[in-house]
Amino acid sequence: MQICASRPEPAPMAAVRPFILRYVQKKARLPGEIDLARFDYIDAGYVDSMGIIKFVMEIETEFGISIAEEELGSNAFRTIGGIIALIEGKMK
Amino acid sequence: MPRKPALICEGATATYEALARSVRRLAASLVARGVRRGDHIGVALQNCPEFVLLMVAAADLGVVLIPVSPSLPPDALERAFAATRTRHIVATADVLRSLRSPAGPDNLRLTVDNRDDDGRFPVIAALIGEIASDPAPFGWGSLDDPFILTMTSGSTGAPKPIVLTQSTKYNRAMAAIDSYRITASDVTLAATPLYHSLAERLVLIPLLSGGTSVLMARFSPREWIETVRRHCVSFTIAVSYQLRQNERAMPRVSRIESLRCIVSSSALLEIEAKSSLRATLQCAIHECYGTSEIGIASSFDMSDASPPLNSVGRAAAGVDIRIVDDDGRPLPAGAAGEIVVKTPMMFGGYFRRPDLTASAMLGNYFRTGDLGRLDEAGYLFVLGRKKETIITGGINVYPADIEEAVRGYPGLVEAAAFAVPDDRLGEVVGLAYVSDDDFDFDLPRLRRHCGQRLADFQQPHRFVSLAALPRNAMGKITRHALPALMSAAPGVRSRD
């Protein structure tokens, strides 16, 4: 059986924003006229309660970071701007 | 009627006229590309209008669809498609790129949106656009044809696809139309994934009764309430976890005038939630019980005279429900045993597994594996599950799939997946594991491993490290003991 290891090299910081925008648009495209930084993608169902764990796991694997329990419940995690800043902050 | 909205999804509306034309053109284009009656087409898509077009075109062509979650990892998708003899695949460009099986004249690879792609995969909308004429329906499909193969096990070596014929799907939709008195004036909402049999039925119900189908691509309580309001939804069957979440969001909203009937399915909705929803929405709240193999077996009608609120109602029209003991002998009213069901909405067996189909039946009755009892008045009470399936957000998860994904993981001696009660999703997956060195075991890495090897709905939310898995005298893992061991264990790690 093939064992998936973590990525040998985490993706660079410039990849965070495109990665998040691509992931949250798997179900449907984001509307054009929104304030991306403040957009609550969870409230709008772009990532639902069934998909949240895989979302976090893929972020951790892609960028070689760890997201803590309390961060998952934070308001920052719920917005597109917030989660990008959260990931970038951990990569510095 | 031609100008009436047939399908509304993500802000786009298709009238009956437009929908029918798109279906006929899609069917013609598929045939021009080599699709033949009886072909199997895998569908790994999120909810979108193209999914619905494919369903109707497949019925016309006598083609079989295999809908699967697009969040399954590539090897699980390959196994599911191999087990179902899938030739063609319609999926997101991401999924298509990840598959090893090559495209070819006999293996179409189609997508719905190639915005991130180099145009490698033809897009359904373009296929429809390339047929200039308005072709007649082919009429190749018949009621006895297999129509949809529903996967019951996503990623183990032995999936058990359920065969649903055109007549099964038709009978199930018509039974709902009769039971819930659905008419052409109803607007029916589908808010669950189309790879799950419930949403397929919810789309067919309005299309077969001349109503309007509203298909949600994404679910959150806020979106649900807004969608119902915006499109004046009057009927839906929802999985109970959605209703529970909606009910909590309800105090912020007032009555929704358009809603006349909501049916809760997949797991029992608590009496408090049921009463609260009814008080807030002032519409009929039904509860139903069933499985993918049998469709709806029982239905609960609040308008009955004093129905027992914790029951799932009485047998649906034409359905016979019995309670049997371990030897398959019928039990009297009041006694608990396995629920077995005889129904005209019965599945067509497990795909190419007559052995499994035979063992799932007791004569003409399907063995649900659920425990229940019937009272004197014929009300059914579901007491638990005999099978080990975990139902999270209305979707079945099979412990074997989770265990297979972590088997052989470095440092992991053994693992067992089990159901953990969850406030939001009804149940979530828990994973108990034994490692060869608990002190050094890298749990975050195991979690990320699950992230890559399992679909979104299969992800373990809770992990518990044990010295040994609990087993009975026969050496079989006693999964039902695991939640208590999890609560007692010092090293419980949750992830939500």
CA distance B203 to B211: 10
Answer yes or no: do B407 and A51 touch at CB < 8 A.
Answer: no
The domains found in chain B, sorted by start residue, are 390-494 (3.30.300.30)
**Number of CB pairs < 8 Å for A and B?**
94
Answer yes or no: do B216 and A50 touch at CB < 8 A.
Answer: no
Spacing of C-alpha B129 from chain mean position? 31
CB contact residues (below 8 A), chain B span 429-468, against chain A? 444-445, 447-457, 459-461
The answer to whether residue A70 neighbours chain B at the CB level (below 8 Å) is no
pLDDT of residue B494: 52
pLDDT of residue B7: 98
pLDDT in tens, B446-467: 999 999 999 999 999 999 999 9
A-chain residues within 8 Å CB-CB of B453? 4
Question: Residue B37 is encoded by which pair of tokens?
Answer: 């009656």
B-chain residues within 8 Å CB-CB of A4? 448-449, 452-453
**Between these two residues, A6 and B99, which has the higher pLDDT value?**
B99
Stretch among B375-379, B388-392, B465-469 having the lowest mean pLDDT = B388-392
* C-alpha distances out from residue B158 to A89, B224, B311, B469, Å: 44, 36, 34, 24
CA distance B345 to B295: 6
Among chain B residues, the shortest Cα distance to A25 is held by: B218
Q: Residue B258, SS3?
A: coil
A-chain residues within 8 Å CB-CB of B424? 49
For an interface test with A, which of B448, B452, B463 has the most A Cβ atoms less than 10 Å from its Cβ? B448
For an interface test with B, which of A30, A57, A70 has the most B Cβ atoms less than 10 Å from its Cβ? A57
For chain A, the residue count is 92
Mean pLDDT of B110-136: 87
Nearest chain A CA: its distance from B203 CA (Å): 18
Mean pLDDT of B245-261: 81
pLDDT in tens, B406-443: 999 999 999 999 999 998 898 999 999 999 986 788 99
pLDDT in tens, B295-350: 999 987 766 667 787 888 899 989 999 999 999 999 999 999 999 999 999 999 99
Answer yes or no: do B454 and A54 touch at CB < 8 A.
Answer: yes
Q: What is the CA radius of gyration of chain A?
A: 13
Answer yes or no: is pLDDT of A1 > 50: no
Structural domain spans, chain A = 14-91
Max mean pLDDT among A83-92, B439-448, B482-491 falls in A83-92
For an interface test with B, which of A25, A33, A49 has the most B Cβ atoms less than 10 Å from its Cβ? A49
Answer yes or no: do A66 and B47 touch at CB < 8 A.
Answer: no
Estimate the share of chain B in helix, then strand, then coil, as percent rounded to the nearest 5.
30, 30, 40
Q: Which of A24, A77, A6 is nearest to B445 (CA)?
A: A6
Mean pLDDT of B161-185: 95
Max mean pLDDT among A2-6, B15-19, B72-76, B109-113 falls in B15-19
- Beta strands B493-494 and B460-465 are antiparallel
Answer yes or no: do B218 and A1 touch at CB < 8 A.
Answer: no
Q: Which of B129, B126, B161, B128 is nearest to B147 (CA)?
A: B161
| Adjacency order of strands within the sheet including B12-15 | B12-15, B5-9, B212-215, B187-190, B235-239, B261-265, B284-291, B295-301, B314-315
Among chain A residues, the shortest Cα distance to B454 is held by: A54
Nearest chain B CA: its distance from A40 CA (Å): 11
pLDDT of residue B430: 96
For an interface test with B, which of A21, A48, A52, A60 has the most B Cβ atoms less than 10 Å from its Cβ? A48
Torsion angles phi and psi, residue B104, rounded to 5: -170, 180
pLDDT of residue B154: 42
CA distance A84 to A37: 9
Q: Which of B177, B176, B211, B216 is nearest to B196 (CA)?
A: B216
Nearest chain A CA: its distance from B196 CA (Å): 14
Answer yes or no: do A42 and B46 touch at CB < 8 A.
Answer: no
**Contact indicator for A65, A87 with CB cutoff of 8 Å:** yes
Torsion angles phi and psi, residue B449, rounded to 5: -60, -45
For an interface test with A, which of B50, B196, B220 has the most A Cβ atoms less than 10 Å from its Cβ? B220
pLDDT of residue B284: 86
CB contact residues (below 8 A), chain A span 22-41, against chain B? 22, 26-29
The answer to whether residue A51 neighbours chain B at the CB level (below 8 Å) is yes
pLDDT in tens, A23-68: 999 999 898 889 999 999 999 999 998 899 999 999 999 999 999 9
pLDDT in tens, B22-54: 999 999 999 999 999 999 999 999 999 999 999
CATH H superfamily, domain A14-91: ACP-like (1.10.1200.10)
Q: Which of B125, B132, B130, B129 is nearest to B111 (CA)?
A: B125
Answer yes or no: do B451 and A45 touch at CB < 8 A.
Answer: no
The answer to whether residue A54 neighbours chain B at the CB level (below 8 Å) is yes
Answer yes or no: is pLDDT of B252 > 90: no
